[in-house]
Amino acid sequence: MKLRTTVLLLLICAGLGGYLYFFDQKLPTTEEWQKKIKLVFDLKSSDVEKLQFQTAGSKIVCERKENTRQWWIIQPLNVKADKSAIDALLSQLESLEKRSDLGKVPFSDYGLQSPQNEILFWVKGKQQSLSFGNKAAVGRQQYATTGDGTVFLVDERSVAVFKKELFDLRDKTLLEAFVGQVTEITVKKNGGVVVNCKKDDKGNWRIEQPVSYRGDQNRIEDLIRECTDLKVSEFVMEQAADLASLGLEPPEGEVLLWREGQTEPQHLLIGKNPEGKESFYAKLENQPNVVLVGANAKNILQKEMIVLRNKQE
């Protein structure tokens, strides 16, 4: 009887010990608890559905397209957002830590009654906010609140991440493609074809115009990379009334880029060089807005066929 009781007790202890062991494995460590306590928000950046940035004189609203990772600016303009810029901002929001918690104190004492910089965001339809007030007298810190009545300090450098202008959040990509996706590229200058290159079924590049030659794989890929690396340096106007005055009608230069699976090319028009600037007017053929791009646009238009030709032919 005693032996059976002893065995039973041992089995119970073993079972309890096993349960406690596996349960303990799921519990956060002290360090993880401490870090979680310091975080301003308990959230996953991927769950944020909408963002609103408010400063003294402006409001910008961004929304994530349903069931995608792409963001869109919906106010003050309806344009594509810079996904990498918003991802970086959300990552900062997720990891933002409190330096010190002052508790429930008057907002007016810390510049939080009418904050100059505020971000609102929505997770599963629920709105949350983060407002920034005055800089602290000592240390690189700034007062902040989530609107729950408490005031705390955050690293002053993190505040700059949340102070965004429309340009910061707007997508600046013109020609969207990875080098390996491109099957054909044409560069024109003053209406004439400077060079046209096509990729054959085996993945080899060939120059088709102005004369047929084998292409230099590396140099043609470098040209494609130069074209896809062109970024907007300034949004000049949302609707141009006189494209001719900007050298865009007819264009002084053009880049046409065909991507695998596309029947129509992405078509970039390049215009004049504004006086006093090293940039050039540009626009996508199917878009109304005019932008400025960097001086490397000129390098693209100056490419010669001889540079792209395979010298071993």
> Tens of pLDDT along 191-221?
899 999 999 999 999 999 999 999 999 999 9
**Side chain identity, residue 76:** P
Mean per-residue pLDDT of the chain: 88
Judged on CB neighbours under 10 Å (0-12, 13-18, 19+), 87 is middle
Q: Is the peptide bond before 210 cis (omega within 30 degrees of 0)?
A: yes
Taking only the tens place, the pLDDT of each residue in 254-297 is: 999 999 988 999 999 999 999 888 999 999 999 999 999 999 99
3-state secondary structure of 206: strand
Phi, psi for 303 (deg, rounded to 5): -65, 135
Tell which wins on pLDDT, 198 or 67. Answer: 198
pTM for the model stands at 0.81
Domains of the chain, first to last: 45-169 (3.30.1490), 179-308 (no CATH)
Report how far apart, in Å, the C-alpha atoms of 97 and of each of 8, 48, 55, 86 are.
50, 18, 22, 19
Phi, psi for 106 (deg, rounded to 5): -60, 125
